[in-house]
Structure 1
Amino acid sequence: MTTPLNLVADIGGTNTRVALADGKAVRQDSIRRYANADFPSLEPVLQRYLAEEAIARVEGACVAAAGPVRDGVAVMTNLAWTIDAAQLTRATGAAHTAILNDLQAQGHALGHIAPQFLRPLIAGPQQSGAAMLVVGVGTGMNAAPVHNTAWGRVVAASECGHIAMPVRNETDFRLMKFIEGHGPHAHGFAGVEDILAGRGLERLHAFVTHEAGTMEELGAAQIMQALGAGDPLARQTAALYVRLLGNELGNLALIHLPFGGLYLIGGVARAMVPYMAEMGLTEAFRDKGRFGDFMKDFAVFAVEDDYAALTGCAAFLTNAAAA
C-alpha cells in the first residue's frame, strides 16, 4: 500500500507556505513561500506551486488559515481571502480536503514535532495521552485544547484571547483602567489579547512609561531592541509582560487541565523566551495560592518549529483517512 501524496499549506496574513507530505511526513525540501499580495486568492497560489513542482494532482489537500473556520469555510482575519473546499479541489484535484484554523493545525502537530524544536520553559511531568494546550501569542492571542479520544484527536476552537486580563494587584488594576481607554484601538475593555499580543506589549510599555512620568509610544520591535540594550523601562515592561503571561497560562492550565503539557507558539512568545526564566515565568504560573503545589503538575514548552502547522495539516489528513 503506497503512502498518499498530500499538499499542505500554512496561510498567514502576509505569506503562504506550501509543501508536499508523504502521509504525516512533510518533505522539508518541498517547502515554498509565496507573498499573498501577489495573488488574488489561495487557488492560484496552489496552482503555481503544483506547476513548479511538476505535479498534476495530489490525493489530499489541507490548509491552515489564520482566521476563523466555520462550516468548512475560512475567512482570513488580515487578508481579503475566503477559502472553501471547492477551491482546494479545483486547484489540486484532491479527493480529500480539509481547512483548519492555524491554531488547530498546531494542535494536530503535537506528538509529531522533533524534540529539538521543543524548548522547556517550566519543568513538570507529562502524562501520556492526557489533554494538552496550544497557546498562540503573536499578532493576536488565543489557545486551543487538544484531546486524544477513542475517535481520534480533537482540537477545540476558542476565543479565550478576549476574556478579561488577569488582575492580581494594584498595578494590574491601574493597567486595566489604562488599557480600557488608551490608544486608537481602545474599546472600554481590557482583554488578555490587549496585554499579551504584539500590540499588547506596546500598551504595556506605554503604561510603564506613563507610570514613570515619561509617556512613550514605541512599536514592539523597538521595545525588544531597547530590551536587548538593557533599557530599564524596557526591562520593566518585559518583567510585567512575563508575569501577566505566567498568570494567564496558569489560569488556562486550571481551566483545561493539560497534564500532557502547554505549548507556546507565536512570534511575541518566542521573542520573550530568553527573558522568561530570569523574570519569573514559573513563579507567576504557579502563583495560585493553595493550588501552588498543584501547578507543579504542568509542563510548559515553547515550540520553535516554523513548520509545525504544515506537520499538523499532514497529520490531520492522514488520521482522517484512517478513521
Structure 2
Amino acid sequence: MALSLVADIGGTNTRVALADDAHVRVDSVSRYRNAEHQGIASVIARYLDDTGQDRDAISGCCVAMAGPVHDGVGTLTNLDWRIDKAVLADALTADKVAVLNDLQAQGHAIGHIASDDLEVVLPQPEVPATAAKLVIGLGTGFNTCPVFDTAAGRFVPPSEAGHVSLPASITALHGILGALGDSKGFPSVEEVLSGRGVSNLHRALHGVLIGPADILAHIGSGDEAACETGALFVEVLGEVAGNLALTHLPFGGIYLVGGVARAFAPHLDRFGFVEAFRAKGRFSNFMEQFGISVVSDDYAALTGCANHLSHL
C-alpha cells in the first residue's frame, strides 16, 4: 500500500495529512497557519517533525492550492507562495508529485464523499456514472470546475471562473456595480460570491462594512438589512450556477463546496435559490435535469488529492 502526503493550501491555513493509496488517514490531519511559514516546503518539514514521519517512506505528494495552476506550477491568489512539482519532490524525495487547483482537487473527490456529507438541494436524477459533473466553490474566493469520467480516467480541467463578469440579468445589481468592483474597478462574480463578497454586497446595499459571519448571524436572527443582503447573494448564486449548468451540462450533479456554501446552505430554500437557478426562460424546464448538493466534508480536497495520486 503506497503512502502519500496530501495538502490543501488555503489563503490562511494549510491542512496536511497522510494517505494510504486513495484513503486519507483522518487522524493524521494537521493544520498550519500560512503566516508562520515561508512556503509549502516549510510546512511539510514542520509536519514531518511534528509527526515523526520518515520522509523516505512517502512515495507520493499532491498539493491542492487556491490559485491557478499551469504545467505543475501555481501561485496562490491570496498568498505570495509559488508551488511547483520540483519543490515537492525535493521536500520529500517522492516518486509521484502533483499540484492541483483546489477546485480540481474537490472534483477528484466527487464519488468518494460519504452520503452523510452531502446535503441535497435538488435530488439527482438517475444517470450513467460517466455523466459530467460540476463543482462550484465558494470560500475565500469563487471558482468552478467540470468533472469528466472517461475511458482514460477522470479529467478535471482547471478554470478561473470567479473572474468573469457578474450577470447583467439581475437588475438589483445595476445600481451598485460601482461599489462591487475589484481593485481595478471590474465587478467580477468573486466580488459577490465569496467571503469578502458577502461583506462587499452588504456594504454596497447598506453602507456598512461588517464581516460575513456577522451578516449570517444577523440573517439567522431575522435582521431586515442582512436578509436583503442574503436574498440578493442567493439570487446571484442561483443565476451564476444556472449559467454554469448550461455551459457544462453536468447531468451527473452539481456540488457546492467551501465554507461560504456551507454557511448559506440553510438559507438557500428561503431565499429562492432553486427559482433563480431555473429561471432560464424557455429553458427553465430543461434545468430540472440537474441535481444539486452542498458538500459538508471539510477534508474533501485532501481526499481528491489522494484519489488523483492513486491513479497516476
Q: TM-score range by the shorter chain?
A: over 0.9
Partner of 1:196: 193
Identity of aligned residues (%): 50
2:220 counterpart of 1:207:
no
Name the SS for the 2:210 alignment partner.
coil
Once residues 186 and 72 of structure 1 are traced to their aligned partners in structure 2, the CA distance between those partners, rounded to angstroms, is 28
- Residues 22, 310 of structure 2: 8 Å contact kept: yes
CA gap of 1:303–1:183, structure 2 versus 1, over 3 A, is closer
Instruction: Tell me the secondary structure at the aligned position of residue 112 of structure 1.
Output: coil
Separation in 2 of the partners of 1:33 and 1:169? 39
Q: Is the 8 A contact 1:136 1:265 kept in 2?
A: yes
SS in 1 for 2:192: helix
State the match for 1:26 in structure 2.
24
Structure 1 residues 143 and 113: alpha-carbon distance in aligned structure 2, compared to 1, 3 A threshold? same
What is the TM-score normalised by the length of structure 1?
0.91
Tell me the equivalent position of 1:17.
15
More displaced, 106-115 or 70-79?
Answer: 70-79
Q: CA deviation at 1:45?
A: 1.7
1:245 shift after superposition: 0.7
Report matched runs for 1:22-101 at 5 Å: 22-56=20-54, 57=56, 58-101=58-101
Distance in 2, matches of 1:52 and 1:236, equals 46
Partner letter of residue 173 of structure 2? D
Match of 1:239 in 2: 231
1:262 paired residue number: 254
Unmatched runs of 5 consecutive residues or more in structure 2: none
Task: Give the total of aligned pairs.
Answer: 309
Alpha-carbon distance in structure 2 between the residues aligned to 1:286 and 1:183: 25
Structure 1 runs (4+) deviating above 4 angstroms are none
Matched, 1:309 2:301: yes
Alpha-carbon distance between aligned partners in 1 of 2:185 and 2:31, rounded to the nearest angstrom: 39
Counterpart CA distance in 2 for 1:153 and 1:106 is: 12
Structure 1 residues not aligned, in runs of 5+: 210-214
What's the TM-score once normalised by structure 2's chain length?
0.94
Is 1:224 the counterpart of 2:216? The answer is yes
**In structure 1, what residue type is equivalent to 2:263?**
A
For the residues of structure 2 that align with 1:38 and 1:207, how far apart are their CA atoms? Answer: 34
**CA spacing shift, 1:183–1:250, aligned 2, 3 Å:** closer
Alignment partners' CA distance in 2, 1:98 and 1:182: 39
What is the alpha-carbon root mean square deviation over aligned residues? 1.6
Shift of 1:88: 1.3
Which is further off, 297-306 or 68-77? Answer: 68-77
Q: How do residues 158-177 of structure 1 correspond to structure 2 at under 5 angstroms?
A: 158-174=159-175
Q: Secondary structure at the match of 1:6?
A: strand
Q: Match of 1:203, as an amino acid?
A: N
